Every structure is written in C-alpha cells, then in structure tokens.
Chain A
Amino acid sequence: MSRRRRRERVIITGINGNLGRRLARRLHRSCSVIGIDRRPARDLPKDVEFHQLDLRRRKTENIFRTARADAVVHLHIMHDPRATQEEAHGLNISATTKVLEFCAHYNIPKVVLLSSADVYGPVPHNNQFLDEQSPLLGASDFGDIRSLIELDMLASTFFWRYPSIETVILRPVHILGGVSNAASNYLRMKRPWTLMGFDPMVQVIHVEDVVAALALALKPGVKGIYNIVGPGEVPLSAIMKELGRHTLSIPVPLAKAALKLFWRFKLASFPAPELDHIRYICMVDGSRAKAELGFAPEFALQETIRAVEDYWR
C-alpha cells in the first residue's frame, strides 16, 4: 500500500457551480477532491471533502495549510453583471488574491484559473483569430468584464513572480450546455435581438469540453495561458437557425438606446455595451492548447449548439 503513489489532491474553489460540479465528478475517481464554496453542497460525489466557506474567511487558510494539495482549480469567479462593482470586485479580486497567496505560501505546485476569451474584447479590427499574446481590450467600454481582466492579469503576474508554481490560465470561448452565462442565456431567449446588418462569426464550446480542458491543465508540466476553442466557427444567424429562434433584428442605435433604458429599469439582463458581442468578432486561435495540452473538443458543432437547451440551474 505504501509503495503506491499517493493520490493526487486537488482543491476546487466554487465547486458548486455548474463547472465545478462537473469537474469534481470527472476527477473524484482518480484524485482526492477538496471543494470550497459559499453555497451549500449539492449533488457532489460522496468522496468529495466539502467545506462551505467564503474564500476570504480565515478558515480557508487552514484548508490550504493542511490539505497538502497538488493543485488548485480556482473557479469561484462571479459573472453576474447585475452585481455591483464592489460586490464583484470584492469577491473576484480579493478572493483570487487570497487563493494565489495561499498557493505561494503553502507551496502548492499548480494553480489553474478559468478566464474567458471575452477578455480580448469584440473590436472591429480584430484579427480573425487572436492568439494568447493579443491585448486584452475587453474592458474598453464595458465595466463588468474589467474584473475578469484584472483577475486574468493578476494570475499572469503570479505566473512570472512564482516560476516554480505552474500557473495555468484557460480562456475558453462562449461556453454552452447546462450552464448559466451571458451567451447561453442570450441564446435561450424566445425572441433574441440581433443587430440589423451584423452577423458576426462566433465560437462556442460545450461545457464538458471545458471541463476536459481543465482536467488536462492539471497534467504536470503544463503552464501558461491557453485559448480553448470548440469545434468550429459559425455565424450567429446559423446558431439561431439551428435552435429555431425567431430573431428580432434591430438597428444598432435603436438597440443601444433601448437596452440602456431597459437595463436601468431592470427589464433586461444584458448591459448595452454587451451588444458588441453580437456585432463584432472576438474569436481566438486555439492551436497552442491543441499542441501543448493535446486538447481537442469531443462535441461536434451541432451537439454543442443544441446543448443550450440542456437542463441547468
């Protein structure tokens, strides 16, 4: 027994999210999973050691100190555009800072962080496919994604400051499937708006493929920033057609004004600057993840798009 290699121990923060739970299910047979989340445990595998905790609390440090973890997957990142700046900032930045601090202090050899391809930003003169070195322009006129960009940069700095720790930042394209995020919620609308005269190419990925990429990022030796792309690129209109949505095509100035108003009166769940995502391209080049992680999406394009209808909460 003692000659067998010790089981790898992985801490997952935000384990009760749609991604965290899936990752726990994928990993729990091969590793010991320790989960931390503010929300109560739900449908987690029995052998997961779960702590209901805010990451910023003192007790969290105890877990990091005693766990002797081999890796941390930090998924506890809030993407709620309705949250106030302070709330989002408090949770995202300070919690991430804490997690990174603990990793450095208790010599956890690997930390994986999930960012998003949105950090590059939908900008009209974007290259068709942006690589990992492209500037993060996502925040130029949209405040909420700023905290995600800050977080991404926080992790990049950490990567340089602690070369002995393998820091991995994944930037997946729009995640579809049993998840609740801006892209999926938009595609679930009965009559989604589109912008008249605009039909950008978009990239989507199935949530299970993202989970697979997270698992691959745990491989020893892997470090750095990786764009994670799905099975291909399609125009937004082709996705709408596949899902049988009847879209409402609105001229840009009108859509902007209306959404601004609706947002203010809490009638819309998207702030106006997000319209750029259905106006300009923001697509990424995933060749690095393919070459270095050996990542290839399992779900085909049609399956991925249809997964929007999957059960979620």
Chain B
Amino acid sequence: MPVDSLTGDVREKVDAWLESLLEPNLRDNLDVLCPSRNDYGYDPFGFNPDYLKYLLPFATLLYRKYFRAEVFGIERVPEQGRVLLIANHSGQIPFDGLMIGVSMLVDRTPPRMLRSMVERWLPTLPFLSYLFPRWGQIVGTPENCRMLLEQEGAILVFPEGVRGSNKTFDKRYQLQEFGSGFMRLALEHRVPIVPVAVIGGEEQIVSLWNAEKVGRLVGMPALPIGPGLLFGPLGMVTPLPTKYRIYYGEPMYFHGESDDDDRAISEKVDEVKRVLDLMIHDGLQQRNGIFT
C-alpha cells in the first residue's frame, strides 16, 4: 500500500538519521554490546541494541551538554567478565542510572553495556514496559540478576532502591539502608563489586516531602513534593542542570558463603557502604559548586 511504503520510507530515513547521531565508536560496536542475540535481534531479556539509537543520541546530549558529566576511574571497570556496579541512588528520577550507563558506552573504549535492575512495577507502565527491556534494562529480581551474571554481564544495582532516590533534600548524600541481595549474589557467583559514586544527582530535583501514601494510591512507589511544583507538575520531573561527577572505585572482592547468616552478610554490605560513603565525601570536597 502506498501509505505503508510512505511511512516505511520516512521511518527508514529517521532511523538512518538517528543512527548517524550515534558516536562512531558506538555505532561500530553495537553487536558487541549484546553477544546473545537471536535471529530477530533480541536477547532472552528482550534487549535489542538497534533500539539504542532511539535513546542514546538524546541521552548523550543530556550527558555531555546538560549535565556536563565528568567521569573518574572508569577504566577500573573490568573489560569483560561478570561485575556488579553498586551506586548511590538520588534525584527522584533515575537520571543517575542513565548517566552511569551512558558513561560506560561513550566514555569508555571499548564500550560496555550495563544492565540495570529496575523497579518491579515498570512492566505495568505502557511504553516503558517494553522500551526499557529493549534498552537492556531488566526487572530487578534476584533470579534475573543471577542469570545475567552467569552470562558474564555487567550489572548496575542501586541497593538503596527508592529509599535512596526518593529521599528528601535534607538527607542528600547520606546513604540510606542497603539491601543485602547484591552481596549474596556476589558471593554466590564470585563477582567483583565496583562502587560508583554519583555527585550532582541529589540537587537535580529537590524534594521536601515524600507523599508516599498518596503515591501508592496511584501505583507509584513515591510522590515527591518540592519547590519544582511552583512550575506545575512538570517541575517535579524536570531536572536542574546540575553538574554530574561519576567516580568509579577500585573493584572489591569478597569471599564467603552466600547463605551465611544476615549478620555476616551485612558486615560485608557495610564495607561497601563505607567505601562508597568515602567516595561521596571526597567527591563533595572536590567540587566547587553544584552547577560548575
């Protein structure tokens, strides 16, 4: 049908244009990002690197121009093999996850695809429910994480979860309670842990109060209330152009039984937390201002 072929043509042109916007280093390496693709281009989790062109041009723009991200120590992330990246979570909307992911793709040669564990309610959201998997993000169940680690993947985990991302402004850069699931997985699969400190995310959207209960009513894990609301509801989802600094730490190796009792596990979790806390502290010392 003519209409179909017309829209097909337009689509092809847009696709080609978007692809040309990808950084050359990445464009040539798309296949490397996902070794287990089937005939249709998808991996078992629904990741298809071809879909990255709908995200990365914009994400890279955010990364380079808007947040002017600066990266330190990215070479500490092993080039291959299973690895867990453990980062502090902040900023109401998970731009921190996106920025860490982008840094691994555009500021690292060769690029490495990060798979992050996302909230379990994501599959209920229209469009995001399939776009996130296409971009390599997975629903955060231990079983999913285990499977990706066995495929030698690099996985980003925010052990604080929404406790970290939705904390109010007075608690900025204070690590909240860590979940311990990542440590059990690390022990079980002998995975090195790379701590990642993100500076600049906390100030992107300021929240003074978390109307959690109201949020739950509409099916969201949190509902931040802050000065952004003076500009309407969009004010709470539009980040300020704070400067992002991403610090990668030395890989940490842990040994022990994965089914040890909670105390033994939480001691190890606390060690990661301590290192991350120090990195955040150093990062804050080094910066001169929130926007510069």
Report A's interface with B, CB cutoff 8 A: 124-129, 195-201, 232-235, 238, 242, 251-252, 280-281, 300-302
Contact = CB atoms under 8 A, between A and B. Distances in A.
Given A201-B46, A302-B39, A124 B120 contact: yes
Contact of A201 (B127, B133, B141): B133
* Central interface residue in B121, B126, B128, by most chain A CB within 10 Å: B126
Interface residues of B, number: 24
Contact of A196 (B45, B123, B126): B126
A128 B126 CA distance: 18
A233 B147 CA distance: 15
Nearest to B141: A127
A232 B120 CA distance: 24
Nearest to A196: B126
B2 interface: no
B178 interface: no
Interface of B: 38-40, 42, 44-46, 120-121, 123-130, 133, 138-139, 141, 143-144, 147
Contacts of A242: 40
Contacts of B40: 234, 238, 242, 301
Given A197-B126, A198-B130, 17 more contacts: A124-B120, A125-B120, A125-B139, A126-B139, A127-B139, A128-B138, A197-B127, A197-B130, A199-B130, A200-B129, A234-B38, A234-B40, A235-B42, A238-B40, A252-B126, A281-B123, A300-B39
A196 B126 CA distance: 7
A127 B39 CA distance: 23
Given A201-B46, A238-B42, A129 B143 contact: yes
Nearest to A197: B126
B39 A124 contact: no
Max chain B Cβ within 10 angstroms of own Cβ: one of A195, A196, A232: A232
6 contacts: A125-B141, A129-B44, A232-B38, A235-B46, A235-B130, A281-B123
A124 B123 contact: yes
Contacts of A301: 38-40
The 8 closest A-B pairs by CB, nearest first: A197-B126, A199-B130, A124-B123, A197-B127, A127-B143, A125-B120, A201-B46, A232-B38
Contacts of A280: 123
Contacts of A302: 39
Contact of B42 (A124, A197, A201, A251): A201
A295 B166 CA distance: 47
Contacts of B126: 195-198, 251-252
Contacts of B120: 124-125
A129 B147 contact: yes
A126 B121 CA distance: 11
A200 B120 CA distance: 15
B42 A128 contact: no
Contact of B38 (A128, A199, A233): A233
A125 B123 CA distance: 7
Contacts of A232: 38-39, 44
A238 B125 CA distance: 20
B144 A233 contact: no
A201 B44 CA distance: 8
B121 A128 contact: no
Nearest to B144: A128
Nearest to B38: A232
B40 to A, nearest CB: 5
A200 B134 CA distance: 10
B249 to A, nearest CB: 29
A230 to B, nearest CB: 11
A190 to B, nearest CB: 15
A84 B17 CA distance: 55
Nearest to B41: A238
Contact of B46 (A126, A198, A233, A251): A233
Contact of B144 (A127, A197, A251): A127
A100 B98 CA distance: 55
Given A198-B129, A201-B133, A281-B123, A128 B39 contact: no
Contacts of B139: 125-128
Contacts of A201: 42, 44-46, 133
A267 to B, nearest CB: 26
